[in-house]
Amino acid sequence: MFFWIGLFSFGGGLMPWIHREVVTARGWMKNEQFLTGVALSQILPGVNSVNMAVYCGQRMRGLAGAVVAVIAMLTGPFLVMLLAAASYRTILGVPWIHAAMAGVAAGAIGMLLRFGISAVQTIATGVVPILVALATFVALGIFKWPLLYVVAVAMPISVALAWPRGKSDA
Amino acid sequence: MRDESYLSLLLSIVAVLTPLSLASVGGATVIYAPLQFEAVDARHWITGREYLDLFAICRFLPGPSSLLGAMIAWKVAGLVGALVAMVALYLPSSALAYGVGMIWDRHRGKPWHTALERGMAPVAAGLIVAGVFTLFQLSGGDLLTGGVIVSVAALLTWKRKLHPFALLIAGAFVFEAAHLAGYLA
């Protein structure tokens, strides 16, 4: 399954694929648990999607699951990369490739948007989480502040605000 | 090129890519500059022109864009070089992610764990939506792109059974049609 995800992940549209397969289609994970993984794999060094594969595989099958998920995710792109590396001059020369790739990329962003909407629905349990998500969006999307600083500031605030609720049903 | 010099080439690939694996916080974009410096200026593995070509092709390929590192390794050291590069690129960061995940699971159910999980979700949601916005701007930010993005999201909402792959192909066809109609350069 991660093999296909890896192969079809054009232009950074990976998260929604994983989300669709793991949460929506197969129900292996809850939406909230998945979002934690998204946040964790963004903070940690390394490629987000590969970290996410580690996170999902580990939660489902431990070490073996994580290893299989990463290898499966990277095999497809690796093979395509070898092909492309061998023939990249030819590929870049084909005139219609650029428009088609741009179309695929736009479609992938659309998937990401759909995933973002479902993420917002999951966290929309009160005013505070909505404000936190909005502030994160504005800082990164509009002001283009560096991800690391935004997360370093937003995360403690958000966690502190979630604390009382966390205690009450622990 | 064989034996000792080949081995040292492989070792220097590892030496260049392993730190980059651990340095790439928040996406592969931060590794482009140091990778270019090492591969082009410092070690003369490839020319600047080749770097730009490989960079362009990587953006069109599936998978993480840090595969560029493996692509360069393939050019200078062949298949073995590319495989070595894959391990150097992804093993360190994955091992770290696994370790953090283990600590994470061990404390499941504790109050601070629940609070962390609850607190991180809204930040993640903000990150995702900001990502959509930034990608939209990078892709040109025009009406056609925006239209395809919104249509795909809407279709995925109303028709849940629809396979996303069909939508990606449809996106390609819409752009192709626009290209033929002279809308796109």
Task: Provide DSSP, A54-86.
Answer: HHHHHHHHHHHHHHHHHHHHHHHHHHHHHHHHH
Q: How many CB atoms lie within 10 A of CB A125?
A: 14
Q: Which residue of B123, B139, B142 to mutate against A (max A Cβ within 10 Å)?
A: B123
Predicted complex ipTM exceeds 0.90:
no
pLDDT digits (tens, 9 = 90+) for B112-131: 777 877 887 888 888 778 87
A94 plus A23 within the same structural domain = yes
B73 Rama class: left (phi>0) / alpha (psi -120 to 50) / beta: alpha
Domain total in chain A: 2
Q: What is the mean pLDDT of residues A144-160?
A: 78
Residue that is last in its domain, among A87, A103, A123: A123
Domain end among A89, A107, A123: A123
Which structure tokens are listed for B132?
Answer: 């959509």
3-class state of residue A8 by DSSP = coil
Does residue A116 sit in the same domain as residue A139?
A: no
Q: Within this chain, do residues A88 and A144 fall inside the same structural domain, yes or no? A: no
User: How buried is residue B18: exposed, middle or buried, by Cβ count under 10 Å (0-12/13-18/19+)?
Assistant: middle
Which 121-150 residues of chain A touch chain B by CB within 8 A? Answer: 122-123, 128-130, 132-137, 139-142, 144, 146-148
Q: Are B93 and A46 a contacting pair at CB < 8 A?
A: yes
The rounded mean pLDDT for chain A is 75
In this structure, the answer to whether residues A119 and A131 fall within a common structural domain is no
Identify the domain containing residue A81 by its residue range: 2-123
- Does residue A135 share a domain with residue A113? no
Q: Which of A106, A123, A140 is the last residue of a domain?
A: A123
**Is residue A115 domain-shared with residue A44, that is, in the same domain?**
yes
H helices of B24-66, where? 32-36, 48-60
**B118 neighbors A165 (Cβ within 8 angstroms):** yes
The rounded percent of chain A whose pLDDT value lies above 90 is: 0
Asked if A38 reaches chain B (Cβ–Cβ under 8 Å), the answer is yes
pLDDT of A168 reads 43
Q: Mark which residues 53-112 of B lie under 8 Å from A by CB.
A: 53-54, 56-67, 70-71, 74-75, 79, 82, 86, 90, 92-94, 96-98, 100-102, 104-105, 109-112
Residue A164 pLDDT? 62
Span A38-90, pLDDT tens digits: 877 777 777 777 888 888 878 877 788 788 778 877 887 788 888 877 776 67
Q: Are residues A111 and A43 in the same domain?
A: yes
Spatial contact of A105 and A10, defined as CB atoms under 8 Å apart? yes
A117 & A133 share domain: no
Per-residue pLDDT tens over the stretch B84-106: 888 888 888 888 888 888 888 88
B46-71 pLDDT, tens digit each: 887 777 777 767 766 666 767 888 88
For B109, the 3-state DSSP assignment is coil
Cα-based torsion angle of the residue sequence B115, B119, B121, B124 in order, rounded to the nearest 10 degrees: -140
Residue A137 and residue A87 share a domain: no
Residue A105 shares a structural domain with residue A147 = no
pLDDT for position B125: 83
CA–CA separation, A68 and B171 (whole Å): 31
